[in-house]
A and B are shown apart, each in its own frame.
Chain A
């Protein structure tokens, strides 16, 4: 697998939510870097696509944003999970796990008969 994968439709939101759950308050650039790092640099994320996704999550009430100052003293907009966001992470994670589990059954060779 020489090429980096693009981010699948719909999974970006979960990645963002999950990142914020793990790291707490974070700005957009930080989220993008973190997602790349977590994927072991296997994902090629177009940073620009992150912002509509963030806006969507904010509109849906899963995250909220505030202006703050970054570790190297730069003004940046920080995102954090809302209560609904925490619930949504749990829900989406469960859904995703179920999906992958089902898919896994199709993809692993049958063990008997």
Chain B
């Protein structure tokens, strides 16, 4: 404690809080009194006054030394000199305002890009879910030998695991996605929720905002836990909501709690907003597998490891457990095993793609930051050169090299931190923009990401590191000027006999990196261009889309068909509407129902199968979407319970039937047999980039009862003019049929397709932005180096011109220098780009990673930019007046 007290006092003294000046005067007085006392003693013992005073001073050991020793004790000397350096650095940076702004802008762009990408990495790879100790929460899967991992659980397998596995303190199961309508507090809305076992909240240890989670014995309780976003959106964050009753899909549930805003699903991807006990799931979802079936997999499972149990031990136990279960249920469970990963981490299957994408992005943004740092390092070199006299004087006066280096490093760290602040600001803005991107998926997905403490720590570390890195080389060089040269007023940093200066090396590295960046950027721009020319196979304009799900309003299949049929008729009669049709889901929805099909009565081996996407259609579908009908007839003549009919696309015919006349042929798949009555043109069914998929269109009225759409039904309206102009009228038709019907996915087909371009557009936007930033930085860097070279060579150029060199010759001299640097850089960067572009391959649409156009256009483009960047200083060199140049020195 006394030590701490002393430290505080010294700190206060240092910052002048406790009147340091007065302290010094006080000590001077004390010292004077000391000397006087000592002198008096001396006189008393017989010395002359002069001798007595001399003795007193000798015994003291010097007035100035004592004063200095006390001063050092009263403050913290090392901190004082550091503070002085900090103040000096700030003063220097303020003096060179332009250069400082340029440096901070450069680093800010670099760090902003890095922080944005790191926020993504943080969201998808690093951030633990808000569920107790995330390392002990495992997402469990079933898998079958020889098949791809992973599958969900049948209910009895879950209970076997729950009751028998001792590695876990608790195992919970949940049904992942329940579409439902929620009423009260405004228009009815479709939301998604989950049905969970009553131990779910104990196992996940989710923090609650208000209320509690379910407890043992509430398996069938009509209770609900709300997500924080839903609670805020529809219930105004009312804390008194606990105990109130709300209606979900027409069923009454009592709210018992609100879960933390950080949680929206165990996998951290799905955006679900309410949780009900699993016993209620059949009220909300029809056509669920039987509770006793060991073959139908429908439950996701998470387990909490018992304290002290390792994952390896759990894996071993699960293996023996799987064997035991297989023995007692040989018919259904033979060959099954369990797999797990930490809950909330990116699922194994998608991990590769996500990591690949983030790696590519990380490399690119690191390149941008390197270019920015090289830029600023060059700027500091230029500054160091102009401050060499200052440095030489300080060295000559006895400053240590370390002191000078520390001085320069403090300056560059300030630049780094300034850039960090700017970068963080930029990334706050960019993360918000990126989070708001609408994903082309039929299920709710929450991938929003934000700046949290991890991101803050990362950007701070990045700023300091880049500040130090970019300062090291200039500080090293600047702190060892040649004193002799400095006194003569000559260049002190030039090292004779070293043709490749560090500055030139930096600029070559910069340009080489921007070659890589530009190639990648070019690839993604080309990819976007090529994606935009993809033939979708259906009408993209003047279509309005609206979805409803009568099932979550407790409609029977018959009532659903009647509702949809009436809706189609009513919508078609709205003024301004050409035609309307109901289907289950729109094309380009990201994912879709699909089944394996084979020819009925044909060979039943795996080779005779074809996977086809399934769509439900009503009469007029193909005309409304302008999909050509190639052969046969449209749906409409069938009856709901009659023999099933289908229309298939050309790809289906080509793959399964090998060009045979398909009309009348019977195909089977997904437990049903269909007679083909027509053939249509190909469309992009799921995603833009897909190879054309076989598609089978079923009759809506024959399918609603037996195989209902899980995600509702969609009305597609073909309008005469702008689709949004009839939006209100169509909504009114829906509410005229049922005022409580929740409407969702309301958009025009153009908006829908715009969302489908998500990936190529995101990639092109990100890489395009980073590429342009990198290019501008590199060009500025080259410009800086060239103009510095010109200013250094002013005298040389003056002499050349005095001796008869033409301005043109001088201009070419400078241009040539810039061009040589650029060419070296291109020669180095181009092969690197060629190799790295393979990384990007997976994300490109319709172009090769070694796209000839991109790789051919980048070098000349870059050389052109480099020429412009060095042309400006070259012009300045050519306009040098030899008389002035020579007189200036």
Contact = CB atoms under 8 A, between A and B. Distances in A.
A74 B35 CA distance: 11
A46 B65 CA distance: 11
B33 A27 contact: yes
Contacts of A74: 33, 36-37, 40
A51 B70 CA distance: 7
Interface string A60-71: 111000000010
B38 A61 contact: no
A72 B40 contact: yes
A59 B37 contact: no
A51 B9 contact: no
A14 interface: no
A77 B33 CA distance: 8
Contact of A60 (B5, B65, B74): B5
B38 A46 contact: no
B2 A76 contact: no
Q: Which residue among B31, B33, B62, B72 has the maximum number of chain A CB atoms within 10 Å of its CB?
A: B33
Nearest to B27: A51
Nearest to B64: A48
A33 B40 CA distance: 14
A76 B33 contact: yes
A62 B173 CA distance: 66
Given A46-B59, A47-B59, A48-B62, A59 B34 contact: no
B61 interface: yes
Interface in B40-85: 40-41, 59-62, 65-66, 69-70, 72-74
Contacts of A76: 30, 33-34, 37
B69 A52 contact: yes
B686 interface: no
Contact of A48 (B9, B30, B60): B60
B553 interface: no
A48 B61 CA distance: 6
B73 A52 contact: yes
B74 A55 contact: yes
A46 B69 CA distance: 12
A48 B31 CA distance: 9
B72 A52 contact: yes
Given A61-B5, A76-B33, A84-B2, A55 B70 contact: yes
Interface string A75-91: 11100000010001000
B6 interface: yes
A59 B70 contact: no
A70 to B, nearest CB: 7
B148 interface: no
B578 to A, nearest CB: 90
Q: Which residue among A46, A52, A55 has the maximum number of chain B CB atoms within 10 Å of its CB?
A: A55
B10 interface: yes
A5 interface: no
A27 to B, nearest CB: 7
Contacts, number: 75
Contact of A55 (B41, B59, B73): B73
A76 B41 CA distance: 15
A56 B72 CA distance: 11
Interface in B3-30: 3, 5-6, 9-10, 26-27, 29-30
A59 B6 contact: yes
Interface in A8-63: 27-30, 33, 46-49, 51-52, 55-56, 59-62
Q: Which residue among A47, A70, A75 has the maximum number of chain B CB atoms within 10 Å of its CB?
A: A47
A60 B6 CA distance: 5
A36 B69 CA distance: 21
Contact of B34 (A46, A47, A60, A88): A47
A95 B38 CA distance: 34
Contacts of A51: 27, 30-31, 66, 69-70
B3 A60 contact: yes
Contacts of B41: 33
A76 to B, nearest CB: 5
B596 to A, nearest CB: 84
B30 to A, nearest CB: 5
A47 B61 CA distance: 7
B61 A56 contact: no
B586 to A, nearest CB: 77
Contacts of B61: 46-49
B314 to A, nearest CB: 55
A28 B73 CA distance: 16
Contact of B33 (A48, A55, A59, A75): A75
B796 to A, nearest CB: 58
Given A48-B60, A48-B66, A75-B33, A29 B6 contact: no
A62 B3 CA distance: 11
Nearest to A56: B73
A27 B805 CA distance: 82
A52 B70 contact: yes
A27 B74 CA distance: 19
B574 to A, nearest CB: 87
A110 B59 CA distance: 43
A47 B39 CA distance: 13
Contacts of B26: 77
B763 to A, nearest CB: 62
A60 to B, nearest CB: 4
Contact of A61 (B2, B37, B65): B2
Contacts of B59: 46-47
Contacts of A59: 5-6, 9-10, 73-74
A49 B10 contact: no
A29 B72 CA distance: 21
Nearest to B32: A75
A47 B66 CA distance: 9
A59 B2 CA distance: 8
Given A46-B61, A47-B59, A47-B61, A77 B30 contact: yes
Contacts of B60: 46-48
A29 B70 contact: no
Closest 10 CB pairs of A and B: A60-B2, A48-B66, A48-B61, A59-B6, A52-B73, A46-B61, A29-B37, A77-B30, A59-B9, A76-B33
18 contacts: A27-B34, A29-B37, A46-B61, A47-B61, A48-B60, A48-B61, A48-B62, A48-B66, A51-B27, A52-B72, A55-B74, A56-B6, A60-B3, A70-B33, A74-B37, A74-B40, A76-B37, A77-B26
Given A59-B6, A62-B2, A77-B26, 20 more contacts: A28-B30, A29-B34, A30-B37, A46-B59, A46-B60, A47-B60, A48-B60, A48-B66, A48-B69, A51-B27, A51-B66, A55-B70, A55-B74, A56-B73, A59-B5, A59-B9, A59-B73, A72-B40, A74-B37, A74-B40
